[in-house]
A and B are shown apart, each in its own frame.
Chain A
């Protein structure tokens, strides 16, 4: 058994979990939802083992480093963070239908990592720029933030779908009737953004300190840095709009989705469309 096979199992578990959660929304069958949760949880456990194994394997081939150093590994870690964060929310707030919006995200990330020809799933040695203790701190803080923002974006979508059915005064048997109350979704979206914002800030800060150690400047307006601060500005604006202007509901849901698009661009877009210091993240 090697880590690649375990990541394969994880991907299948996440795909099935996503399907079950969708089944929960459509058929309102609690048992399907429970199976979905167990699949997601099982997948997360297998993935945790796989991450540990990949780390161990890297030591066995003599280039030991945390599995956080290229696009393949970062996607896998993104799926892991998103799933773990989601499972925590489900446990804490007992809102299982959220999985129908979050788990497809994790499943797509895993599938993209496994099947895209762009991805190199080999464990490769670290180039000198990445040989730093800041690597783990920087990547982990950023990706906890990304995972939370992915969940916030999914919640935003859920809010808008629920809102559209409520406006039509649909009957209780309607497709999205099983979604939580609008007020609950709104509150969770906000809490998730707050959590993500804290970690994004920590991610930018650890990145700045690392940049100063490696390149002699803590901020060089490299496209990745710039997009991360653009994302930060957008979420800062969202939080201010809510705290001081009283924005709620639909506006915050849209901002959660737009914010996540900015996160996606910071994560993928910069690597694929723009060039800069973070180019080692692109393959």
Chain B
């Protein structure tokens, strides 16, 4: 009884009906998450659907359904189904491939849908000679045996392509395994090592560094083991005002020393020690980076300043500050500057953000430049499973090609003497693209006459 039960469970997981059912169920349930917005705070759902429905959605984990226990269980069943189903069928495929083509009875060849008879003048030895040279010329490696008073030749191509569909199945399992390896949930709950795989973000104001990130969802702080310094953040625009580039110049500082400096842009992430940093957002601050330079001596001064505060450049005895601003939303376009060397009336003037202004003073000429201070928002990801996912993807394409476009082709020829002449019976079969193979078969035999 128990073995029977076990067998029936095994049979269920080996069945294609289950696979069809699971594919349908995965497709149908996946729709839910595209209709109900995912991963919003509970208040969002209460407002949108009412308290009762929101509670139900919460209980069924529909607010984060692709990570819910029931969706992952479905994927688990799908994987088991793939494994059991493939394991059960692969031995059959191996048996099919190992089947000796020469074991066939020559009379059976006449029952093949694809067969042709040829009568040649001359001995059967001559005919056999022509068959072997035809097979050789067309690249069919043949084996032969004596049978029923004649000679049977057999050749095959692409037997391995019968594994194509199982290559696809394995590739799906590899992708799912890669997803599990890179999963932050697995890292946290099973490996108990949130540093193994994580996704999070950091906001780094220009001129400052960050040595940790804030993980998504949990909001926990994860130390990187090195720090990322934001040298600058810039936005470039197209003439029509659309953003063209978001660029962070960053320096990685590892063990107190700068390890590398590079730009991070959208579509151009930085990977360092397995952690990849992506340009994902920015935040304009209401502070400004001021650069001053005295033309005559080349003396320079840089400072981050807030508006409406008097700043001093001590050795040069300069005082300056921002007394007014113009801009759009949080982005400043122009600044009004107050500047004095304490000789005569102070200078006041408007200057565009990022533009250089020249100030003539009794003590000499100074150049002035102010940029708005930004913080760059970087997403930081560590996904040790991604190479598995990519290998799985590549394998899937190879498998699909094998499964759909390559076939296992067999070619038989039986040569026997027939009343002073000789008779050749050709037969062939392919497991896919039978029409294409029958053309190839006819073409091959037509070459015998030449």
Stretch from A41-49, A162-170, A220-228 contacting the other chain: A220-228
Provide the residues of chain A in CB contact with B35, threshold 8 Å: 274
Is A129 located at the chain interface by the 8 A CB criterion?
yes
Is B8 located at the chain interface by the 8 A CB criterion?
no
Provide the residues of chain A in CB contact with B72, threshold 8 Å: none
- Bound complex: CA of A127 vs CA of B235, how far in Å? 12
Contact pattern, B 220-243, Cβ under 8 Å of A = 1, otherwise 0? 000000000000000000101011
Contact of A205 among B246, B379, B396 (CB under 8 A): B396
Contact pattern, B 261-286, Cβ under 8 Å of A = 1, otherwise 0? 00001110100000010111000000
Q: Are A230 and B30 neighbours in the complex by a CB distance under 8 Å?
A: yes
- Bound complex: CA of A236 vs CA of B195, how far in Å? 37
Is B24 located at the chain interface by the 8 A CB criterion?
yes
Given contacts A128-B243, A198-B404, A221-B38, contact A240 B23 (CB under 8 A): yes
Is A217 located at the chain interface by the 8 A CB criterion?
yes
Q: Are A227 and B393 neighbours in the complex by a CB distance under 8 Å?
A: no
> Which of A195, A215, A221, A240 is packed against the most chain B CB atoms within 10 Å?
A221
Is A174 located at the chain interface by the 8 A CB criterion?
no
A interface residue numbers (CB < 8 A to B): 63, 124-125, 127-129, 131-132, 194-195, 197-198, 201-202, 205, 208-209, 212-219, 221, 223, 226-227, 229-230, 233-234, 236-237, 240-241, 243-245, 270, 274
Is B245 located at the chain interface by the 8 A CB criterion?
yes
Nearest CB of chain B from residue A201's CB, rounded to whole Å = 6
Interface of chain A: mostly helix, strand, loop or mixed: helix
Nearest CB of chain B from residue A222's CB, rounded to whole Å = 9
Contact of B20 among A202, A208, A230, A240 (CB under 8 A): A240
Q: Are A198 and B20 neighbours in the complex by a CB distance under 8 Å?
A: no
Q: Are A245 and B400 neighbours in the complex by a CB distance under 8 Å?
A: no
- Bound complex: CA of A233 vs CA of B276, how far in Å? 31
Nearest CB of chain A from residue B424's CB, rounded to whole Å = 31
Q: Are B266 and A241 neighbours in the complex by a CB distance under 8 Å?
A: no
Q: Can you list 9 pairs linking A and B with CB atoms under 8 Å apart?
A: A128-B243, A128-B246, A209-B390, A209-B393, A215-B379, A218-B386, A223-B34, A243-B165, A274-B34
A-B contact count (CB 8 A): 103
Contact pattern, B 3-26, Cβ under 8 Å of A = 1, otherwise 0? 000000000000011011001101
Q: Are A201 and B27 neighbours in the complex by a CB distance under 8 Å?
A: no
Nearest CB of chain A from residue B343's CB, rounded to whole Å = 48
B interface residue numbers (CB < 8 A to A): 16-17, 19-20, 23-24, 26-27, 30-31, 33-35, 38, 66, 165, 179, 199, 238, 240, 242-246, 265-267, 269, 276, 278-280, 379-381, 383, 386, 389-390, 393, 396-397, 400-401, 404-405
Closest to B64 in A: A221
Provide the residues of chain A in CB contact with B238, threshold 8 Å: 63, 125
- Bound complex: CA of A223 vs CA of B397, how far in Å? 24
Contact of B34 among A131, A218, A226 (CB under 8 A): A226
- Bound complex: CA of A212 vs CA of B379, how far in Å? 12
- Bound complex: CA of A202 vs CA of B242, how far in Å? 31
Contact of A233 among B27, B383, B401 (CB under 8 A): B27
Provide the residues of chain A in CB contact with B19, threshold 8 Å: 240
- Bound complex: CA of A214 vs CA of B17, how far in Å? 39
Nearest CB of chain A from residue B156's CB, rounded to whole Å = 21
- Bound complex: CA of A132 vs CA of B389, how far in Å? 21
